Chains A and B, each alone.
Chain A
Amino acid sequence: MDKFTELTAIAAPMPTENIDTDQIIPARFLKTIQRTGLGKNAFAAQRYDADGNENPDFVLNQEPYRHAEILITYDNLGCGSSREHAPWALLDFGIRCVIAPSFADIFFNNCFKNGILPIRLPREICDELMDDARQGSNSRLTVDLERQVIVRPNGETIAFDVDPFRRHMLLEGLDDIGQTMAHDAEITSFEHRPSRAWVPSITMGTSK
Chain B
Amino acid sequence: MPVTNSPRTLFDKIWDDHVVERLEDGTCILYIDRHLVHEVTSPQAFEGLRMSGRRVRRPDATVAVVDHNVPTSDRSKPIEEPESRLQIETLEKNVAEFGVPYFPLRSASQGIVHVVGPEQGISLPGMTIVCGDSHTSTHGALGSLAFGIGTSEVEHVLATQTILQKPAKNMRVSVEGKVGPGVTAKDIMLAIIGRIGTAGGTGHVIEFAGSAIRDLDMAGRMTLCNMSIEAGARAGLVAPDETTFAYVKGRPFAPKGEAFEQACDYWRSLASDEGAYFDTEVTLAAEEIVPSITWGTSPQDVLPITGSVPSPSDEADPARAAQIQRALDYMGLEAGQTIAGTPVDVVFIGSCTNSRLEDLRAAADVVRGRHVAEGVRAMIVPGSGLVKHAAEAEGLDKVFLDAGFEWREAGCSMCLGMNPDRLTPGQRCASTSNRNFEGRQGPGGRTHLCSPAMAAAAAVTGRLCDVRELVKETV
Contacts and interface: CB of A to CB of B under 8 A. Distances in A.
B448 interface: no
A32 B42 CA distance: 11
A198 B90 contact: no
A32 B83 contact: yes
- How big is the B interface, by class? 35 or more
Nearest to A204: B101
Nearest to B34: A202
Interface stretch (B4-12, B184-192, B349-357, B433-441): B433-441
Contacts of B155: 177
A170 to B, nearest CB: 13
Contacts of B29: 180, 183, 186-187
Interface stretch (B56-64, B271-279, B464-472): B56-64
Contact of B164 (A34, A75, A176): A176
Contacts, number: 196
B21 to A, nearest CB: 5
Interface string A9-47: 000000111101011001110111111000000000100
Interface in B414-465: 416-418, 425, 435, 437-440, 443
B283 interface: no
Nearest to A198: B263
A27 B27 CA distance: 32
Most chain A Cβ neighbours within 10 Å, of B27, B153, B323: B153
A22 B435 contact: yes
Given A33-B43, A198-B266, A208-B107, A26 B439 contact: yes
A110 B83 contact: no
Contacts of B439: 22-23, 26, 45
Nearest to A45: B439
A202 B122 contact: yes
A154 interface: no
Interface in A97-138: 102-106, 109-110, 113-114
B69 interface: yes
A183 B29 CA distance: 9
B102 A204 contact: yes
Contact of B259 (A113, A165, A190, A198): A198
A86 to B, nearest CB: 9
Interface in A178-201: 180-181, 183, 186-187, 190-191, 195, 198-201
B236 interface: no
B319 A15 contact: yes
Interface string B51-93: 0101001001111000011000000000001011011001000
Contacts of B68: 30
A52 to B, nearest CB: 12
Nearest to A181: B160
B216 interface: no
A201 B60 contact: yes
Contacts of A105: 202-203, 232, 234
A187 B101 contact: no
Contacts of B152: 84, 110, 113-114
Interface in B296-330: 298, 319-320, 323
B410 interface: no
Contact of A82 (B149, B252, B254): B149
B150 A109 contact: yes
A62 interface: no
B253 A110 contact: no
A190 B31 contact: yes
B377 interface: no
B253 A106 contact: no
Given A31-B87, A177-B156, A187 B161 contact: yes
A35 B120 CA distance: 32
A207 B252 contact: yes
A35 B151 CA distance: 10
A106 B134 contact: yes
Most chain A Cβ neighbours within 10 Å, of B47, B107, B440: B440
A114 B44 CA distance: 13
Given A76-B198, A105-B232, A165-B25, A26 B417 contact: yes
A104 B83 contact: no
Contacts of B230: 80
B233 to A, nearest CB: 8
B160 A84 contact: no
Contacts of B226: none
A84 B87 contact: no
A138 B235 CA distance: 44
A81 interface: yes
B41 A177 contact: no
A27 B319 contact: no
Nearest to A22: B437
A79 interface: yes
Contacts of B62: 202
A121 to B, nearest CB: 16
B472 to A, nearest CB: 36
Contacts of A201: 60-61
Nearest to B263: A198
A204 B473 CA distance: 49
B41 A180 contact: no
Contacts of B298: 18, 20
Contacts of A17: 319-320, 323
Most chain B Cβ neighbours within 10 Å, of A23, A35, A79, A208: A79
B156 A180 contact: yes
Contacts of B107: 208
A79 B41 CA distance: 17
- Give me the 3 closest cross-chain CB pairs, A-B, nearest first: A113-B152, A31-B83, A84-B150
Interface of A: 15-18, 20, 22-23, 26-28, 30-35, 45, 50, 74-76, 79-84, 87, 102-106, 109-110, 113-114, 163-165, 176-177, 180-181, 183, 186-187, 190-191, 195, 198-204, 206-208
